[in-house]
Amino acid sequence: MKKLYRLPEGFKFGSSASAWQTEGWTGKKEYQRNFVDMMYLAEPERWFNGVGTIKSTDFYNRYEEDIEMLAKGNQNAYRFSLCWTRILPTGTGEVNQEGIDFYNRVLDTCEKYGVEPLVTLYHYDIPVSLFDAGGWENRNTTLAFIEYAKVCFKHFGNRVKYWATVNEPNYETYCCYGRGNYPPNVQDLSRRWKAMYHIMLASAGAICEYKKLNLSGMIGIVSDSYSIEALVDNEEYRKAIYNADLFYNRCVNDVSVLGEYPQDFIDMLSKEYDLSYMLEQDKVIFKEGVVDYLGINAYDRTLVKPYTTGETCMIANNTGDGVTKNSTIIKDWFELDEDPNTVKNAWGCELYPKSVYNLLLDLKRQYPNTPIIITENGLGYYDECVDGKVDDQYRIEFLDGFIYWIKKAMEEGCDVRGYFVWSTMDLYSWINGYKKRYGLVYIDYEDNNKRIPKESYYWYKNKIEEERTKNG
């Protein structure tokens, strides 16, 4: 009989959430708002029952209830983000002590229940003042972020052992400037690469500041990364895989781990775009600001084929209507392909847990000495609560498959330190509002945000116990 694989001592089992999706409104005054607040004010009809950012899941007032529930579910870690404007209301300048006090209370509560915090500095919620000044296209936003990071390290550095600088620099800029379904809602890859560059510089700069403090913790970045695959194995398809890996993965991961952009990536960009914002002195910051670990948000694979014809175009099925197809053409780089034999959800995303195994093996080959934390993995669905219960077997099957393949990759030498389900509770999904749900805990927005653990919550609780028993 094959010996059961035992997870390493100290492995983190937890779940994730973000400030702007859970806490409730920071913008009591106009200058305190981040651009998610701005979105709500512009289009309140998009937000379920007017919940919006004003109340959200009300984590600001119910953090102890939520962290206690997480701990009772055998989770020993919680990934959450700090709200930039709660700490620096205008993005720079005077510190808001109320914000500092709030996050100290959250950290106190994590300590009380034996939950390790993994704290993300930035999760999409850029202050309005910085957004209005050009957002991440403006180098000054990079400088503002580094100053914000220094404030956070000063106040919480001795309390937090796991930091992440920014969440999904690839996906944020892809949606802002590629698909155009996030503000500023444009399709212009030249602006995308500029914004991403400044985010990556901000991340590296923050890491440099953290390392100056000689704290005992680890600091990384959260990268949405994909197993890049093809249905055909020939030279043209392998080239498409290579190009897509540059486009989606290595433009973040190489910079974070190796401290430099891939030269092939720079060569491809320089054929079409002005790269004068890439300054020579930045190279030192990138080299010194490498990560201690790589956080990976793993959901599905990216299936590609060679570029054939047509202009760059990115279409996303945002609504889960089951009709609109995801389609991407990146001129001279690659196109997205589709496997008719793989099950997909209503949003056109493959339900393919083995993708995380393939991804982890790729990361081990590319970055053999860098620990990995799976910072997000989950399944969004239009969950229904019937007689006070949410029977989400589809989510259980999905998560169970991913955990299986993560363990298989670890058996083969991949250094994975933790696994976090997205999300701790139901929260706002950018395009689908509060209808599309990812949480282990159901939020009844019509009944004072009542918390109702789903079947997946209990399954995860038992799964964690099962894994720990193996190590007992």
Active site residues: 168, 376
466 CA to centre of own chain: 27
DSSP per-residue letters across 50-69: G-HHHHTT-HHHHHHHHHHH
397-402: long-range contacts (C-beta < 8 A, 24 or more apart)?
Answer: 398/351, 398/353, 399/456, 399/459, 399/460, 400/459, 400/463, 401/353, 401/354, 402/298, 402/353, 402/356, 402/377
Residues 80 and 57: beta-carbon distance below 8 Å:
no
Residues 107 and 170: beta-carbon distance below 8 Å:
no
Strands, E assignment, 107-161: 116-122
State which H helix or E strand residue 81 sits in.
Answer: strand 77-81
Q: How far apart are CA 127 and CA 33, in angstroms?
A: 6
Torsion of CA 51, 52, 54, 59, to 10 degrees: 80
Residues 248 and 225: beta-carbon distance below 8 Å:
yes
Token reading at 433: 């509002």
- Helices 251-258 and 189-212, packing angle to 10 deg: 20
- Helices 393-411 and 354-366, packing angle to 10 deg: 30
Residues 298 and 361: beta-carbon distance below 8 Å:
no
226 CA to centre of own chain: 12
Residues 255 and 367: beta-carbon distance below 8 Å:
no
Instruction: Count the residues in the chain.
Output: 472
Q: How far apart are CA 119 and CA 78, in angstroms?
A: 8
